[in-house]
Amino acid sequence: MANYEYDYLSFKDLDRIKIPRFQRGLVWTAQKRRDLITTLHKDYPFGSLLVSPERNSATQLRLLDGQQRLSTIRDYQKNKVAYWHNLNPEDYDAALQQINDALAQWKQSITEKRFDELLDEKYELADWTDEYNDVPATEKKDLRDIVNGVRKQIKAYVDLDQLKIPVIKFIGDEGDLPEVYENLNKGGTPLTKYEIFNAVWSDDTVLLPKTGSAVPAANEILQNVKNYYNDMAKNGSFELDDFSEDELTRTRKINLAEFGRALGQFVVERMPALVATTESKANNELGFGLLGIATDTDNKNIPSLSSKAALIQQNISDILLQSNMIARKLNDIFAMLKQNIAHSSKKNAKKSPYATGLSTSFKTLSYFAALWGKTNDEMNASIKYIPQYYVFDFLNGAWTGHGDKRLGEYYQSVNKRNYQRPVPIDEFRRSFSRWLAENTGVKTTFSKQIQALITIHSNFTYLAGTIPNGEDYEFEHIIPKARILTYDSKPSFVHLSSLGNGMFLPKRTNREKKDQTIYENMDRWPSNIPRYTQFLKDSDYPERIQFQRIFANLRERDFDGVNSYIDERAKRVADAIVDGLMKSM
């Protein structure tokens, strides 16, 4: 027996389709929406909607895929004039000009905004022409005929009464839907697996606690859900059939997918030192991953979480409290390590205050998995070594590839891996040396990973504890980039953006010096000499004689000589990072 049925729905039948809460926002551009309307106008075939029968309803349908098409068709019904105007600008302009030419003899005219109002089929045109007392009745009729002619063109452009929308009704096992989604979305704008869960789990609900110590966290989860939908409404993404903020407040009932996303946002906001809050994808990855950890569900089997709804409900307070505690502890231990002082001032408040370039979702989830269910003492005994592994695992590419498989090894039920012992220091140094040899930085800009490593180095050394002179600093090349590119333009040879050629420099001086060294700048402004003498020493900034040799190497195209300095400094930076991580933990 087939798991699906083909059918067609009329435009009026679309009211039977319910868009589940927590569907993804509209991602089509305005041009993409106009393209679909052009397709409908030409009576060309277009993509179908994937629906399934609504639970406990004989007539209602639940939208699983095709939201972009459905939303666009509904939007067209509400904004026919705007669509027709954009798709037929010459006809629109000609009609407007014809009206204004006729009105000109009475020193009258109408704007585009007014014309759009007149083109709305609900507007009574007599009310408009009655405004012109001096215009003869025959002329008024001619004006109304022009507008009525355009109205007919708009109505005929896409006759919604005759439109037939192709529908695939899925009637099989809901557990197969993720694979159905994947096959349907291999082209175009693909759905993520989390967006698949958004639809499939729309009816699997949990109740947020109303009493107990987890209530503040539960209230935040509830607000995250509300904000998600309110933001979508503000953005005009789509209309929701069953969203009521007051109803959410009263019942405190949310579906499993909403809980996963909101929980992810909950922990992301508590860990700015680990996860950039602008990375919305992390909300899903971490939130659903945490539900997997809490229910001992392997990340590869996240689709089965819907069968654990009762278990999640039973432990929902504990899930919220543990997520909160672990997230805060992780942020505390990483905050000073990764503080990006380039963004420390109030005027840079909108930028990320931390360098998160080494973070990945699976790596972060492994910390939660290793600490989940531990007592406070057990947690403190493990968490101090996590920053070592944060860098060490990056150097070894531990979380590239099949990260979900590795994550499962940190689960309490498996306990094959943990963070209870320090990284062996010799192995740490060998890994760094190997990584340096493979990442020479022959490019014009620093990777986010190298920026993160340099940030960690700065917080262990010359910027430890305080910001020298209380001023802003910014990330920059040590050997001025413009000087290197003069001789190695791509670059092709110089390790321009390697670990050894980056640091934080005083912002004002860095802006003043442009393509000069700090020494050359201080020669112009001698008052800066005492200000930066100690900083230059602490930061391992090259001495004047080293710069002279470097620039001589560049002029002679002796790029090996330039790289020799950069690579030696990279080794010193690596050693300082390892030493700092081993001593501070």
| E strand intervals along 403-533 | 473-477, 502-506
Neighbours of 284 (CB within 10 A): 22
* pLDDT of the residue at 403: 81
Neighbours of 223 (CB within 10 A): 17
Domain end position, chosen among 123, 140, 155: 155
* pLDDT of the residue at 345: 46
Q: What is the C-alpha to C-alpha distance for residues 539 and 203, in angstroms, rounded to an integer?
A: 57
Local confidence band at 67 (pLDDT 50, 70, 90 cut-offs): confident
* pLDDT of the residue at 531: 78
- Antiparallel, parallel or unpaired: β 61-65 and 49-53: antiparallel
Q: What is the C-alpha to C-alpha distance for residues 432 and 54, in angstroms, rounded to an integer?
A: 56
Verify that 328 and 296 share a domain, yes or no.
yes
Q: Give yes or no for a contact between 383 and 371, defined as CB atoms under 8 angstroms apart.
A: yes
Q: What is the dihedral of CA 451, 456, 459, 460, to 10 degrees?
A: -140
Verify that 378 and 325 share a domain, yes or no.
yes
H or E, element range at 183: helix 177-184
Verify that 418 and 489 share a domain, yes or no.
no
Over 90: is that where the pLDDT of 208 sits? yes
Mean pLDDT of 387-400: 96
Q: Give yes or no for a contact between 216 and 238, defined as CB atoms under 8 angstroms apart.
A: no
For the stretch 408-433, pLDDT in tens is 999 999 999 999 999 999 999 999 99
- Burial of residue 495 (number of CB atoms within 10 Å: 0-12, 13-18, 19+): buried
For residue 33, tell me if it sits in a domain: no
- How far, in Å, are 23, 193, 233, 263 from residue 243 at the CA level? 12, 23, 11, 19
For the stretch 33-61, pLDDT in tens is 999 999 999 999 888 888 888 877 778 88
Crossing angle of the two packed helices 559-584 and 448-460, in degrees rounded to 10? 60
Q: Tally the residues of the chain.
A: 585
For the stretch 277-309, pLDDT in tens is 766 778 889 999 999 999 999 988 888 898 999
For residue 315, tell me if it sits in a domain: yes
Neighbours of 379 (CB within 10 A): 18
Local confidence band at 23 (pLDDT 50, 70, 90 cut-offs): low
Domain end position, chosen among 399, 423, 447: 423
Verify that 518 and 552 share a domain, yes or no.
yes
For residue 282, tell me if it sits in a domain: yes
For residue 392, tell me if it sits in a domain: yes
- How far, in Å, are 245, 264, 364, 389, 416 from residue 225 at the CA level? 9, 11, 23, 34, 36
Over 80: is that where the pLDDT of 184 sits? no
Neighbours of 564 (CB within 10 A): 15
**DSSP structure class, residue 339:** B
Domain count, the chain: 3
Verify that 367 and 297 share a domain, yes or no.
yes
For the stretch 334-381, pLDDT in tens is 988 887 765 444 444 445 688 999 999 999 999 999 999 998 888 988
Q: Give yes or no for a contact between 340 and 354, defined as CB atoms under 8 angstroms apart.
A: yes
For residue 11, tell me if it sits in a domain: no
The residue behind tokens 């505690």 is 325
Q: Give yes or no for a contact between 398 and 406, defined as CB atoms under 8 angstroms apart.
A: yes
For the stretch 83-123, pLDDT in tens is 999 999 999 999 999 999 999 988 889 999 999 999 998 89
Count of alpha carbons within 13 Å of 353, Cβ hemisphere only? Answer: 16
Torsion sign (Cα): 62, 67, 73, 78: positive
Verify that 128 and 151 share a domain, yes or no.
yes
- Burial of residue 129 (number of CB atoms within 10 Å: 0-12, 13-18, 19+): middle
Question: Which phi and psi (to 5°) does residue 39 adopt?
Answer: -60, -45
The one-letter amino acid at 112:
E
What 53-59 contacts at long range (C-beta under 8 Å, 24+ apart), as own/partner pairs, is: 53/169, 53/171, 54/18, 55/203, 59/16
Verify that 329 and 235 share a domain, yes or no.
yes
* Among 440, 451, 442, 441, residue whose Cα is nearest residue 476: 451
Give me 140's structure tokens.
Answer: 């008024």
The one-letter amino acid at 449:
Q
For residue 364, tell me if it sits in a domain: yes
- Antiparallel, parallel or unpaired: β 205-207 and 253-255: antiparallel
Local confidence band at 22 (pLDDT 50, 70, 90 cut-offs): low
Q: Which range in 131-135, 351-355, 480-484 is most confidently predicted, on average pLDDT?
A: 480-484
Verify that 395 and 468 share a domain, yes or no.
no
Q: What percent of the chain has pLDDT over 70?
A: 89
Domain end position, chosen among 120, 135, 155: 155
Parent domain of 339: 207-423
The one-letter amino acid at 339:
Q
The one-letter amino acid at 82:
A
For residue 160, tell me if it sits in a domain: no
Q: What is the C-alpha to C-alpha distance for residues 542 and 479, in angstroms, rounded to an integer?
A: 9
The one-letter amino acid at 72:
T
Q: Give yes or no for a contact between 337 and 378, defined as CB atoms under 8 angstroms apart.
A: no
- Burial of residue 256 (number of CB atoms within 10 Å: 0-12, 13-18, 19+): buried
Verify that 446 and 523 share a domain, yes or no.
yes
Verify that 259 and 344 share a domain, yes or no.
yes
* pLDDT of the residue at 269: 95
Verify that 365 and 452 share a domain, yes or no.
no
For residue 28, tell me if it sits in a domain: no
For the entire predicted model, the pTM comes to 0.76
For the stretch 510-551, pLDDT in tens is 888 889 999 998 888 887 777 788 888 889 999 999 999 999
Verify that 442 and 472 share a domain, yes or no.
yes
Judged by DSSP in three states, 203 sits in: coil
Q: Give yes or no for a contact between 170 and 4, defined as CB atoms under 8 angstroms apart.
A: yes
- How far, in Å, are 218, 220, 363, 387 from residue 293 at the CA level? 19, 21, 13, 21
Local confidence band at 200 (pLDDT 50, 70, 90 cut-offs): confident
